[in-house]
Amino acid sequence: MDSLKQLTADVSACRACPRLVEWRESVARDKRASFKDDTYWGRGVPGFGDPHATLWVMGLAPAAHGANRTGRMFTGDRSGDWLYRAMHKAGFASQAESVNAKDGLQLLGAWVSSAVRCAPPENKPTNSERDNCREFLVRERTLLQQVRVVVCLGSFAYDAVCKEWGIKPKPKFGHGVEVAAPDGTIILCSFHPSQQNTFTGKLTEPMIDAVFTRARAISNKYF
């Protein structure tokens, strides 16, 4: 029988995409100077959180010097600072920041993963790499039976979620867009908390806070 523990092991050991394997491992060898003393994870990064999650947060892929370094999604980078601060405000995270995988962060009624599980060059995975990772998304969905709302961070994650949940026709992606899937799951869209978006003001704290406030309201209807 499949389990989240087995899924974690399988994601960590996956070598299905040669381009991604080469990149994640080269980044782990040729470290950023500010992390030269760190031991990089350098493998596929599994999802993590509450097995009884009502909220599922879907990102694009692990960051080269964030999750690919720390081994935990959105951990150790600026995107994670924005994400977990917003989740903490909405009651989905035990603390507002995530520095490393042993910093005590717990997700409360939430699960975090990504459409692609390995760090891609230039943060741009291919569609075929996304499709190779689909097995992991399908298995997570089967195991996370209580999920009622999915927050998609960016259009790439949104496309993967719409494909998996059978949303046709697919509404155009945009921040704050809300879509009901055929099974009743609510899909919420947010611009990705990348530095490209946060530094330029395309995504502000009130904007991402509003998405997670809405996710909390939906979750509270069920539990």
Q: Read off the tokens for 42.
A: 């350098």
Beta bridge partners of 150: 56, 187
Whether 143 contacts 2, CB under 8 Å: yes
The pLDDT assigned to 181 comes to: 97
pLDDT along the chain (223 residues), means of 10: 96 98 97 96 98 97 98 97 98 96 97 98 94 97 97 97 96 98 97 97 98 97 74
User: Exposed (0-12), middle (13-18) or buried (19+): which is 151, by Cβ within 10 Å?
Assistant: buried
Domains of the chain: 4-222 (3.40.470.10)
pTM score above 0.75: yes
Q: How many CB atoms lie within 10 A of CB 222?
A: 11
Tell me 185's DSSP state: P
Q: Read off the tokens for 10.
A: 């399988």
> Please, which residues have CB within 8 angstroms of residue 4's CB and are 6 or more apart in sequence?
51, 140, 143
The conformational region for residue 109 under phi > 0 = left, psi -120 to 50 = alpha, else beta, is: left
The pLDDT assigned to 113 comes to: 98
CA angle 51, 101, 159 (to 5 degrees): 55
The pLDDT assigned to 68 comes to: 98
Q: How many CB atoms lie within 10 A of CB 15?
A: 11
